[in-house]
Amino acid sequence: MISNPLGFLFSPRKQWRMVADAGDEGLAAKLLYPIILAIGPCVAWYYGASQVGWTVGDGEVVRLTQASALQIVIAFYFAMLGSLAVIGYFVHWMSETYGASSSVLKGIVLSGYTATPLFIAGLCGFFPLFWFDLTLGILALGWSVYLLYLGIPLAMGIPEERGFLYASAVVAICMVIFMALMGAVVILWDMGMTPVFTD
């Protein structure tokens, strides 16, 4: 029940209480949750970018070669999991400051569950339509932030006022990680992992 993605969309309070009640043994099995869910967006964007393609303005359909799309989505997959692990570590690292009891494991599980709407929205990659994907991505990001602000106080067992500050600090960490990922993309492109388009 605790690993039900739809639960984090429709009954998040109940899900977060279950995370709070789970011990480290119960949480260890939940590490598979982001590992499995992160596959969905990768498969979707691989198919969408290499088979369906997208258009820019009134131009022709643009597609990536299968080899190029594959290496990009593999990097995308590990970037997602690496980001969640780093965010989870910082959730744990900051817990003492805000009077919460945590572990690295709990932090990673919390960050993985918070990303649920982003994993689900990533499935829009099967149909790469700019305005639709952007709208869905913004909605998913908003819901993920909501889950974070709701989940930190519930899962960490702290007052809501302190949880608000805690969650705000986590959002700041997420923004730093996002900027680091943008820098990593530039470095990878410079090292030869540039997208290759079909003729």
Q: In this structure, is residue 169 part of a structural domain?
A: yes
Q: What domain range includes position 144?
A: 7-52+64-190
Please say if the pLDDT value at position 198 is more than 80. yes
pTM of the model: 0.90
Please say if the pLDDT value at position 175 is more than 80. yes
* Burial degree of 61 (CB within 10 A; 0-12, 13-18, 19+): exposed
Q: In this structure, is residue 179 part of a structural domain?
A: yes
Q: Which residues of 32-57 are buried (b: 16+ CB within 10 A; e: fewer)?
A: ebbeebbebbbebbbbbbbeeebeee
Confidence at 1, pLDDT banded by 50, 70, 90: very low
pLDDT digits (tens, 9 = 90+) for 39-71: 999 999 999 999 999 887 777 889 999 999 999
Q: In this structure, is residue 32 part of a structural domain?
A: yes
Q: Which of 44, 123, 119, 48 is nearest to 83 (CA)?
A: 119
Higher-scoring residue by pLDDT: 192, 141:
141
CB 41 within 8 A of CB 5: no
Q: In this structure, is residue 134 part of a structural domain?
A: yes
Higher-scoring residue by pLDDT: 145, 192:
145
pLDDT score, position 31: 87
Please say if the pLDDT value at position 72 is more than 90. yes
Please say if the pLDDT value at position 93 is more than 70. yes
Distances (CA, A) of 172 to 50, 96, 144: 34, 17, 14
Count of domains observed in the chain: 1
Please say if the pLDDT value at position 15 is more than 80. yes
Q: Which 3 state secondary structure label does DSSP give 57? A: coil
Q: In this structure, is residue 57 part of a structural domain?
A: no
Q: In this structure, is residue 68 part of a structural domain?
A: yes
Stretch 12-32: mean pLDDT: 84
**What mean pLDDT is reported for the chain?**
90
